[in-house]
Amino acid sequence: MFDRRWITYPGNVIRGTDPVKVTELTEAALLRSRGIDGSSVNAYFAPSSLPPVPEDPSLDAAAELILSAVEEGVKISVFGDYDCDGICASAILYHFLVNYLEADADYIIPDRFGEGYGITPEAVTRMCEQGTGLIVTVDNGITAFDAAARAEELGIAMVITDHHLSGETLPQCAALVDPHVPDSSFTFRDECGAGVAFTLIRRIAEELGIGREELEGYLMCTAIATVGDSVPLVENNRVYVRLGLDAMKRLKLCSKREFMARRDGFPDDGDFEDDESDPGSGGAPFSYGIIALLEASGIYSDSALTSTDIAFKVVPKINAAGRLGSAEKAINLLLSETRTEAREAAAMLIRDNSLRKNIEQEIFSDALTGGKMLTGENDSIVLCAGEDWHQGVLGIVASRLTEKFNRPAIVLTLSEDGDDPLYKGSGRSVENIDIFSALSACSGHLERFGGHTRAAGVSIRRSQFKPLIEALSEYFGGLGGKAAAQAPEYVADAVVPGGMIDMGFADMINAFEPFGEGNKSPQIVLTGLILSGCSRFGADNAHLRLVFSAIGPKGVLIRLEGVMFRAGNLAETVSKLKRVSVLCTPRRDSLRPDQLLLLVTDIHDFDLDVEKTLPYMYNGTYITFESFAIDADFLRVVYKGIATLPERFTFGDLNGLRMKLSACGNHCSWYRLRCSVEIFTELGLVKRLSKTEFAVDRSVRSTDLESSSRFMALRTDTAG
């Protein structure tokens, strides 16, 4: 908060006094920014059919191998992964093999800590000893050269289905299905592992004449995995999630009707709790498990289910099992055959997720305050290393560090002691910086690595920490990553008068669901707000609940409620604000669907509605606002003000200075003031003594502003 500039595109500043018109103009802006023209609007908002199964020779070969193995009575082993995507992919293929093909099948989910990611020669040997004749991997295998060679040596057929990037060489196996391999005929290449598994069973279903209705449970599972694996929510993935969410809503509605029927005294046959005959409860694959998981996540309404709910409430519970060492709990939930079994399994995931949260917070705090941070402010990456951190949550901690510092982050923990200890961990990146490519360029410092554009797994010796930091900083600096990290910003989809939004506006925003990677939830700037309430809530008071007022249609004062997650520590600062603008996503409250709720991303301590917009930035087409602009004239005013402060000053002194400068007509927002201090610190005019204390270096007589990379990155050039 207060550390990012807000920018938008020309034409996206919406004005008006009619909520209906404001909603229409905002919708047009959102369609325009997503490249959706009039001919494709209906298909975008309401897809009615699944994308066609690709005509891919490898997909056909995999389907034929599976069908032949079933016909010959060969045992099939599904080998998956311990994250949400791998768990869902395993459940999809295993359930389909057993329930539709009546195959002799089992599944194997490796232990995160004992076995690690991916199929190994040892795992192949064990499956052979247990009578397996066909191995099908899901969400892994594209780099399983040794495992594939071992399968061939033992005479076991191996089908690899994966979605990760491949190298120049591919493992030798009976069939390899991966949209990213060079000769793939997949027209859409960004499906997750469960999406590829779903495509495979759809191909087999076509052979057997199985209709889409019978695959709806698998579609719901694919939707959860697609959101959970953060693949781009465009094209096929958008359709999977959109139709999957619709299927989950129908499932919840049927479940609600069952409850109402029982409450109102309608008879049922036998034990209602475990009745599997009704299609609303147990008819579709995974119905019991998905209903139990949604209810355990606090999602009861059949109408207010979004991809955001899946991402933040459902996926973490599935992941928690694998993160803490036993993904078996999560797949047992999906495969539950009764309501009772599903609810018991969901309760176990709730407990695991609570434990995961506690462990994650301990590591995050230790990384920031325990001397485990190995990088500084001038590095283009954050790297932390601990001796006994739980490996299962390091990816989440890396994500939080990336969010906090707006730089790629790698979090490591000791794996093997010795003269040069081995550390393992996870990396996460910021938007537009490919961490996988960065690690590839610096791979000489790593023992092992793998992953995606935004996420990676790493193994590294302690002696390589410093060389890796230097190599990555050089790499990111060469891409302009350092400048990007020094000038963080939010891109707003539209700027709208706060008093002109209503439930119709929220429903319009919701129509753009599902939101996630590649289709971010619209970020709307609401102007003209007065903050009238601010309080902390949630576990450890970690979040903020906000109340705003604004002038609505015909001059009527309206009330708006908002929440801001992980901002509880800013309650004292925020509560002192008055006229504000917020960057948020308006939506229906999931607990009170008839109420409007603002999911607040950032607060700005100026009302942007009264400011001038600055039309050019980086010679591009963006616009920003006057209270985000940094220029030499403003810096001179601020430095004169700082010169009047005590030689050692604090953020409290800066707040007083901010109010004085604002009273004199300077748009001195917290953003502009903090950026000014950072520029002065870079130039040596100010020294940072601690997190909250500074000192003026009065010995510096002159300096060149353009020698500050911070100033150059923030510079706003305006024109006509």
To the nearest 10°, report the CA torsion of 599, 602, 603, 608.
-100
Biggest CA–CA distance in the chain, Å, is 89
- Tell me what pLDDT residue 179 has: 96
**Position 698 pLDDT exceeds 60:** yes
Confidence of residue 657 (pLDDT cuts 50, 70, 90): very high
**Chain centre distance of CA 411:** 18
Residue 77's H or E segment, with its range, is strand 75-79
CA dist., res. 515 & res. 127, Å (int)? 40
pLDDT at position 479: 65
Mean pLDDT (the chain) is 88
Helix (H, G, I), strand (E, B) or coil at 291: helix
**What is the pLDDT, as a whole number, of residue 716?**
59
Q: Per-residue pLDDT for 116 more than 70?
A: yes
Residue range 222-242: mean pLDDT, rounded: 94
Q: 157 with 134: CB under 8 angstroms?
A: yes
What is the reported pLDDT for 111? 86
Length of the chain: 720
Residue range 556-573, pLDDT digits in tens: 999 999 999 989 988 988
pLDDT at 57 over 90: yes
Look at residue 481 in the predicted model and tell me its pLDDT.
46
* 400 vs 661: CA distance, rounded Å: 34
Average pLDDT value for residue range 463-489? 75
Q: Among 131-135, 197-201, 271-275, 488-492, whose mean pLDDT is lowest?
A: 271-275
Whole-number Cα distances in Å, 488 to 276, 407, 482, 615, 710: 53, 10, 10, 19, 11
Confidence of residue 303 (pLDDT cuts 50, 70, 90): low
Q: Crossing angle of helices 216-228/84-99, nearest 10°? A: 170
Q: What is the pLDDT of residue 197?
A: 98
Average pLDDT over residues 228-249: 93
Q: What is the mean pLDDT of residues 405-412?
A: 91
Here the tokens at position 388 are 């006994």
Decide if pLDDT at 482 tops 60.
no
pLDDT at 360 over 60: yes
Q: Residue 222: left if φ>0, alpha if ψ -120 to 50, beta else—which one?
A: alpha
Q: Calculate mean pLDDT across residues 80-105.
A: 96
Q: Which domains does the chain have, with CATH numbers?
A: 5-42+490-613 (2.40.50.140), 57-343 (3.90.1640.30), 370-479 (3.10.310.30), 629-714 (1.10.10)
Separation of alpha carbons 373 and 432, rounded Å: 24
- Kindly give the interhelix angle for 193-208 and 57-71, rounded to the nearest 10 degrees: 60
Q: What does the pLDDT look like over 520-562, one tens digit per residue?
A: 899 999 999 999 999 999 878 989 999 999 999 999 999 999 9
Q: How high is the pLDDT of residue 407? A: 87
Q: Dihedrals φ, ψ of 649, to 5°?
A: -135, 165
Residue 13, sorted as left (phi over 0), alpha (psi -120 to 50) or beta, turns out to be beta
Residue 468, pLDDT > 60, answer: yes
**Span 75-102, mean pLDDT?**
96
Mean pLDDT of 694-700: 86
